[in-house]
Amino acid sequence: MDYLPITVQMKSRHCLIVGGGEVAARKLKHMLHADAKVTLVSPEYTDEVLEIAEKHEIRLVHEVFSPEHINGFYLVIAATDDRMVNRQVSIAAQQQNIWVNVVDDLELSTFIMPAVIDRSPLLIAISSSGVAPVLARKIREKIEWLLPDALGSLLERLKLLRPKVKKKFSSLKEKRSFSEWYIESAIQDSKVLEKNEDSILEFYQQQHKPEGIVYLVGAGPGDPELLTIKSLKIIQKADVVLYDALVSQEILQRVRKDATLVHVGKRAKCHYVHQDQTNQMLVDYAQQGLSVVRLKGGDPFIFGRGGEELQFLTQHNIRYEVVPGITAAAGCAAYSGIPLTHRDHAQSIRFVTGHEKSSKNSLDWNSLAQAGQTLVFYMGLMRNQQITDSLIKHGRNPSTPVALIEKGTTKNQRTVIGQLNELPQLVEKYEIKSPSLIVVGEVAELANELDWFKDGELISSNNKIVAKNDFGATERDNRLPLVANV
Ligand SMILES: C[S@@+](CC[C@H](N)C(=O)[O-])C[C@H]1O[C@@H](n2cnc3c(N)ncnc32)[C@H](O)[C@@H]1O
């Protein structure tokens, strides 16, 4: 790009035109149109120039040009038919860093004037960078043809609407979509321009109620750093966040500061917000056009009632997206050093609920008691005795290793390792509280070897609290530390 197109505010700025003929008269009209204060220098002037000068406050200097005439001007135009004079004007102006245009002489000009379509305040300028001014004028004619007549009044309306639009819409996106809609409507039907600003804004808002959305987001098991980048972005933009009891304060602190926070989990006095109420709230907020986050511990589709909530949203035609989270089994096992699968011990994993919808025990204990798999019981604490009895009764070895993981991935994590037949006693003895997971399977014992999480507490089957070395790994009496000092 050889030239930068800019529009210059000329109102009350001093402009010098050197010349007094036909070309000078044309340039004079342009400058007057832009409200510039014009001085002309020329030994003689045509009648046209004299006439214009009389009507407007134009200073006419009846002299041959000399470089001193340039002093103090903002912009200079050389419009004589004498190239020597034009050159003198150009040199004098450039020496003082004054913008100069020499008509039809690119070489001597520091700026050039484009072909202009003037529908003030709308200006369309077409420049061929001085290479083909005729072509630029032809293009201008073609564009003029395409432009709707009401363009000038449209701009006037937009100018009047501007402060109201600014007040009405908070986001740039909303402001832009209103302006796009208004321009498009006015071009199609100029009657739109006759409506006053308030009624047009009201009309637009009725037609364009923002569409609400619900994001079903998994907040992970506790450690806020286990939030995914996507969930973080969404909670930082949400208007409303409905969250469960398992969502930690550290995570809630990351929610947009002016968002509405609604606790829909278990409350201090054991009051529940009923699932139906939560579903309805999601719909109500979304129908107000808000961006709503349903924030759940772990993953929303794993024992999180996420499916039920989405079915309700579907029935009410509410748009939604699902953002998965790290489920408690994955998070707690990782932070306790328990690999849920291991080629020597477990070829499959089962996530099992200890809290079924109906109270009757409908789990398939025969299949759950099979060896070679890891079972992770969610919400199983209250039914630990039944889990123990059922598994042993259906054939799982009573000495199968088990782990109880309380408040996993948080700085209050406790992991108790023992064996299946002592599970109820471990719960009682260590006063294990919710939220906790029960892991059943040979892999549970690997925590004694692989535990790494410095903030967590590991209690091994011999009732000993295992200390951690500098690397977070547990130190065992008869084994070398996991990470060698090098
Ligand atoms: C209603 S379920 C929700 C599970 C969640 N949607 C998930 O994917 O992790 C709640 C149960 O998850 C388990 N849980 C959730 N977070 C836990 C944590 N940080 N430590 C131990 N167990 C946890 C507990 O068994 C708790 O009773």
Model confidence at 486: pLDDT above 70: no
Atom of ligand 1 nearest to the CA of 380: 25
Q: In this predicted structure, what is the pLDDT of residue 358?
A: 59
Largest CA distance in the chain: 119
Q: In this predicted structure, what is the pLDDT of residue 195?
A: 86
Residue ranges for the binding site?
22-23, 43-44, 221, 297-299, 302, 327-328, 379, 408
Mean pLDDT of 368-392: 96
For residue 328 and ligand 1, the question of a CB distance below 6 A is answered with yes
Residue nearest to atom 21 of ligand 1 (CA): 436
Model confidence at 480: pLDDT above 50: no
The ranges assigned to domains in the chain are 14-113, 151-207, 213-326, 337-466
For residue 302 and ligand 1, the question of a CB distance below 6 A is answered with yes
Mean pLDDT of 163-178: 87
Which residue among 244, 296, 407, 451 is the active-site one? 244
Ramachandran sector of residue 237 (left: φ over 0; alpha: ψ -120 to 50; beta: rest)? alpha
Confidence category of residue 463, pLDDT binned at 50, 70, 90:
low
Model confidence at 266: pLDDT above 90: no
For residue 220 and ligand 1, the question of a CB distance below 6 A is answered with no
CATH of domain 337-466: 3.30.950.10
Mean pLDDT of 387-395: 96
For residue 405 and ligand 1, the question of a CB distance below 6 A is answered with yes
* Whether 138 is catalytic: no
The two tokens of residue 159 are 């100018």
* Whether 266 is catalytic: yes
121-139: per-residue pLDDT in tens? 888 899 998 888 889 888 9
Mean pLDDT of 218-229: 96
**Residue 353 C-alpha to ligand 1 middle, in angstroms?**
10
Q: Which phi and psi angles does 353 have, rounded to 5°?
A: -95, 135
Distance spanning both ends of the chain, measured CA to CA:
61
**Residue 211 C-alpha to ligand 1 middle, in angstroms?**
32
For residue 234 and ligand 1, the question of a CB distance below 6 A is answered with no
**Residue 179 C-alpha to ligand 1 middle, in angstroms?**
48
Model confidence at 246: pLDDT above 50: yes
Q: Which phi and psi angles does 428 have, rounded to 5°?
A: -70, -50
For residue 440 and ligand 1, the question of a CB distance below 6 A is answered with no
Q: In this predicted structure, what is the pLDDT of residue 357?
A: 59
Model confidence at 476: pLDDT above 60: no
Q: Which amino acid is at 79?
A: A
The neighbour count for residue 97, using CB atoms within 10 Å, is 8
Contact indicator for 324, 289 with CB cutoff of 8 Å: no
Q: Which amino acid is at 472?
A: G
Residue 353, strand partner residues: 378
Please tell me which residue, 151 or 116, carries the higher pLDDT value. Answer: 116
For the chain, what percent of residues have pLDDT higher than 90?
A: 69
For residue 188 and ligand 1, the question of a CB distance below 6 A is answered with no
The whole-angstrom separation of Cα 47 and Cα 60 is: 13
Q: In this predicted structure, what is the pLDDT of residue 175?
A: 87
What's the burial of 105, exposed, middle or buried (CB within 10 Å: 0-12/13-18/19+)? middle
Name which of 56-60, 115-119, 267-271 the model is least confident about. 267-271
306-325: per-residue pLDDT in tens? 999 999 999 999 999 999 99
1-21: per-residue pLDDT in tens? 888 999 999 998 999 999 999
**Residue 323 C-alpha to ligand 1 middle, in angstroms?**
17
The whole-angstrom separation of Cα 14 and Cα 73 is: 5
41-97: per-residue pLDDT in tens? 999 999 999 999 999 989 999 999 999 999 999 999 999 999 999 999 999 999 999
Please tell me which residue, 299 or 485, carries the higher pLDDT value. Answer: 299
**Residue 56 C-alpha to ligand 1 middle, in angstroms?**
83
Residue nearest to atom 7 of ligand 1 (CA): 298
Atom of ligand 1 nearest to the CA of 296: 6
The whole-angstrom separation of Cα 19 and Cα 46 is: 10
Model confidence at 483: pLDDT above 70: no
Confidence category of residue 470, pLDDT binned at 50, 70, 90:
low
Average pLDDT of the chain is 89
Name which of 32-41, 147-156, 390-399 the model is least confident about. 147-156
Q: In this predicted structure, what is the pLDDT of residue 481?
A: 35
Domain 213-326 has CATH 3.40.50.300: no
For residue 324 and ligand 1, the question of a CB distance below 6 A is answered with no
| Top mutation candidate among 382, 413, 433, 437 for ligand 1, by most atoms within 8 Å of CB | 437
Residue nearest to atom 15 of ligand 1 (CA): 328
- Please write down the HEC assignment for all residues of the chain: CCCCCCCCCCCCCEEEEECCCHHHHHHHHHHHHCCCEEEEECCCCCHHHHHHHHHCCCEEECCCCCHHHHCCCCEEEECCCCHHHHHHHHHHHHHCCCEEEECCCCCCCCCCCCEEEEECCEEEEECCCCCCHHHHHHHHHHHHHHCCCCHHHHHHHHHHHHHHHHHHCCCHHHHHHHHHHHHHHHHHCHHHHHCCHHHHHHHHHHHCCCCCEEEEEECECCCHHHCCHHHHHHHCCCCEEEECCCCCHHHHCCCCCCCEEEECCCCCCCCCCCHHHHHHHHHHHHHCCCEEEEEECECCCCCCCHHHHHHHHHHCCCEEEEECCCCHHHHHHHHHCCCCCECCCECEEEEEECCCCCCCCCCCHHHHCCCCEEEEEECCHHHHHHHHHHHHHCCCCCCCEEEEEECCCCCCCEEEEEEHHHHHHHHHHCCCCCCEEEEECHHHHHHHHHCCCCCCEEECCCCCEECECCCCCECCCCCCCCCCCC
Model confidence at 33: pLDDT above 70: yes
Which residue among 29, 266, 284, 468 is the active-site one? 266
Name which of 88-92, 257-261, 453-457, 467-471 the model is least confident about. 467-471
Q: In 3D, which of 205, 194, 192, 193 has the Cα closest to residue 165? A: 205
For residue 354 and ligand 1, the question of a CB distance below 6 A is answered with no
Sign of the torsion formed by the C-alpha atoms of 409, 415, 419 and 425: negative
Q: In this predicted structure, what is the pLDDT of residue 462?
A: 60
CATH of domain 14-113: 3.40.50.720
Residue ranges for the binding site for NAD(+)?
22-23, 43-44
Model confidence at 485: pLDDT above 50: no
For residue 222 and ligand 1, the question of a CB distance below 6 A is answered with yes
Residue ranges for the binding site for S-adenosyl-L-methionine?
221, 297-299, 302, 327-328, 379, 408
The two tokens of residue 140 are 């201008």
